[in-house]
C-alpha cells in the first residue's frame, strides 16, 4: 500500500499535515509494525496479505481473496490469482510459485491471536504502526473485522493506529521532501528494500518511527537502547503519541467518510463520461467530484441550481458551499457540470487513428499522439486503469487527499 508522494503538489509546496488532534493519553503500550496487501485500493476490496512485526516476533499470512487483484495491485504486490484445475490459488509473479494462503476470517483470527501473544505486559494495549500516504488500510481492516464479528476482540487488544507517513512529514519537514517508505528507508536507514511484500513494509514502518525517535533522543544526549527494550519502547511511544488515532476515532472517521462516499456515488452520472475515457482523465475528474462531495453537495442540489439559474445557479451554489475554492477550480467544475446538464454541450468522444477528440456544440478539443505517449505518467497508487487514448485534460490538476477512503 505504498505509493510515491512528495509535499510538492501542483508546483507548490503543501504544508505538512498536523498531528492527530486527539492522540492518546500516556500509558503502557506496545508498538507493532503492520501492513496489508489488498486486491485494490477501495474499502470494499479484499485482503490478500496481512503482516505484523516487532523486533522479537513477526507474523505474515497470505489470504485467498474471492475476486482477482486489479492490474495495479498485481504489479504492486507481485502476485496474482490463477485457476489450477478447479481451484483458485495465489501465485508469486516473480517465482511463479503458489503462495500458501488461508481464508480471510482464518487469517484475521490468527493475526489477533498473534497480537495477544506479543502484547506481554502492555496493559494499555497495542499501537499498530503503518505507513501510507492515503489512509485506507485502517478502514479496510476494521471493515473486515466487523464482517466476521471480530471487531470487539480487536478493540480489546489494539488501542489505536499511527501513520508513519504523517509522523515523518511533520518531523522531517525541514530535511526531507518525500516521505515514502522507499525514500525514508534509503535516507534514514541506508537500506534498499523491496516493498512489494506487506511483511517488509511492516518491518520498515516500525523501524522508521523508532529511528526518528532515536534521533530525537540523541538531540537530548540520551541513549535510546535497543529497539524492543522497555525504555526504548516508552520513548518511541511518547515520541509518536500525538499522532496516534484511537480505534474509536478511526471508526467515527470511517462512518463520516462513508457518507461522503455515498455523495460521490450520487454524483457519478455527472463524472462518468470523464471516468470512462482513460486513467489520466479520471485522475483529473476525481478530485473535482471529491470537492463537491466533501462540501456536502448532492446531485439533487446541482439539478435544482441548474433549473433555477443554469450556469449562474451552479456557480452560486459552488461558491456558497466552497468558500475557499480557487477560481480555476470553479471553472473546471462548471465545465464538467455544464457538460452534463446542458443538452447543447453534451460531450461526445470520437477516436480517430492515434488521436482522441472531445466535441461539444461550441468547442472541439483534440489531444494528439504526443500526449497519448504520456498517459502512464501518474503513479501506481491509483487503481484506475483503462486502455483508451488520452483525451484533452480537464483544466484541474490532480491533488492528494489522504482522508478519502475510496474512489469509484
Which range in 35-39, 178-182, 351-355 is most confidently predicted, on average pLDDT?
A: 35-39
More confident residue, 344 or 262: 262
Residue 102 pLDDT grade (very low, low, confident, very high; cuts 50, 70, 90): very high
Per-position DSSP letters for 110-161, written without gaps between them: HHHHHHHHHHTT-TTEEEEEE--SS--HHHHHHHHHHHTT-HHHHHHHEEEE
Q: In the chain, what are the domain boundaries? A: 29-69+103-219+230-242, 255-341
Q: Residue range 213-217: average pLDDT?
A: 79
CATH code matching the domain that covers 29-69+103-219+230-242, chosen among 3.40.1440.60, 3.30.420.10, 3.20.20.70, 3.90.870.10: 3.30.420.10
Q: Which three cell numbers stand for residue 394?
A: 480537464
Q: Residue range 344-361: average pLDDT?
A: 53
> Shortest CA distance to 259 belongs to which of 52, 404, 81, 158?
404
How many angstroms separate the CA atoms of 133 and 163, rounded? 8
pLDDT tens per residue, range 41-55: 888 899 999 999 999
**Is residue 222 scored above 60 in pLDDT?**
no
**Look-up of cell digits 503538489:** 9
**Is residue 376 scored above 60 in pLDDT?**
no
More confident residue, 200 or 274: 200
**Helices vs. strands in the chain: H and E counts, helices first:** 14, 15
Q: What is the dihedral of CA 380, 33, 9, 286, to 10 degrees?
A: 50
Percent of residues, the chain, with pLDDT higher than 90: 42
How many angstroms separate the CA atoms of 231 and 213, rounded? 12
How many angstroms separate the CA atoms of 314 and 328, rounded? 15
> Shortest CA distance to 76 belongs to which of 50, 44, 103, 40?
40
Residue 229 pLDDT grade (very low, low, confident, very high; cuts 50, 70, 90): low
Is 0.85 surpassed by the pTM of this model? Answer: no
Q: Residue range 381-403: average pLDDT?
A: 40
DSSP type of residue 6: B
How many angstroms separate the CA atoms of 356 and 213, rounded? 52
Residue 219 pLDDT grade (very low, low, confident, very high; cuts 50, 70, 90): low
> Shortest CA distance to 381 belongs to which of 311, 283, 297?
283
Phi, psi of 44 (to 5 degrees): -80, -5
Q: In a 3-state reduction of DSSP, which class is residue 82?
A: strand
Amino acid at each position: 500500500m505504498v505509493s510515491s508522494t512528495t509535499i510538492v503538489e501542483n508546483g507548490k509546496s503543501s504544508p505538512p499535515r498536523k498531528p492527530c488532534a486527539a492522540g492518546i493519553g500516556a500509558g503502557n503500550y506496545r508498538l507493532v509494525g503492520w501492513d496489508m496487501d489488498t486486491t485494490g485500493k477501495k474499502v470494499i476490496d479484499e485482503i490478500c496479505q496481512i503482516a505484523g512485526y516487532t523486533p522479537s516476533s513477526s507474523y505474515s499470512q497470505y489470504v485467498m481473496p474471492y475476486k482477482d487483484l486489479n492490474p495495479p495491485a498485481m504489479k504492486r504486490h507481485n502476485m496474482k490469482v490463477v485457476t489450477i484445475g478447479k481451484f483458485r490459488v495465489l501465485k508469486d509473479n516473480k517465482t511463479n510459485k503458489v503462495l500458501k494462503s488461508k481464508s480471510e476470517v482464518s487469517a484475521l483470527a490468527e493475526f489477533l491471536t498473534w497480537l495477544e501473544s506479543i502484547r506481554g505486559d502492555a496493559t494499555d494495549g497495542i499501537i499498530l504502526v503503518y505507513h501510507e500516504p492515503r489512509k485506507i488500510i485502517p478502514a479496510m481492516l476494521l471493515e473486515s473485522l466487523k464482517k466476521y464479528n471480530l471487531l470487539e476482540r480487536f478493540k480489546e487488544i489494539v488501542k489505536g493506529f499511527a501513520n508513519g507517513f504523517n509522523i515523518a512529514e511533520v518531523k522531517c519537514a525541514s530535511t526531507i521532501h518525500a516521505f515514502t517508505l522507499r525514500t525514508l528507508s534509503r535516507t534514514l536507514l541506508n537500506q534498499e528494500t523491496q516493498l512489494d511484500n506487506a511483511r517488509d513494509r511492516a518491518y520498515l514502518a516500525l523501524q522508521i518511527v523508532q529511528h526518528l525517535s532515536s534521533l530525537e533522543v540523541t538531540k537530548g544526549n540520551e541513549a535510546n537502547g535497543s529497539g524492543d527494550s522497555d525504555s526504548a519502547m516508552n520513548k518511541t511511544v511518547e515520541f509518536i503519541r500525538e499522532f496516534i488515532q484511537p480505534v474509536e476515532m478511526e471508526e467515527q472517521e470511517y462512518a463520516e467518510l462513508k457518507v461522503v462516499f455515498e455523495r460521490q456515488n450520487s454524483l457519478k452520472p455527472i463524472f462518468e463520461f470523464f471516468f470512462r475515457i482513460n486513467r489520466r482523465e479520471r485522475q483529473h475528474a476525481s478530485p473535482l467530484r471529491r470537492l463537491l462531495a466533501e462540501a456536502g453537495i448532492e446531485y439533487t442540489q446541482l439539478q435544482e441550481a441548474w433549473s433555477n439559474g443554469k450556469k449562474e445557479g451552479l456557480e452560486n451554489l459552488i461558491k456558497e458551499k466552497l468558500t475557499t475554492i480557487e477560481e480555476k477550480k470553479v471553472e473546471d467544475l462548471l465545465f464538467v457540470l455544464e457538460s452534463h446538464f446542458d443538452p447543447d454541450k453534451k460531450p461526445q468522444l470520437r477516436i480517430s487513428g492515434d488521436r482522441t477528440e472531445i466535441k461539444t456544440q461550441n468547442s472541439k478539443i483534440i489531444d494528439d499522439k504526443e500526449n497519448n505517449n504520456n498517459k502512464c505518467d501518474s503513479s501506481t497508487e491509483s487503481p484506475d486503469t483503462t486502455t483508451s487514448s488520452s483525451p484533452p485534460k480537464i483544466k484541474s490538476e490532480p491533488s492528494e487527499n489522504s482522508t478519502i477512503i475510496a474512489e469509484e
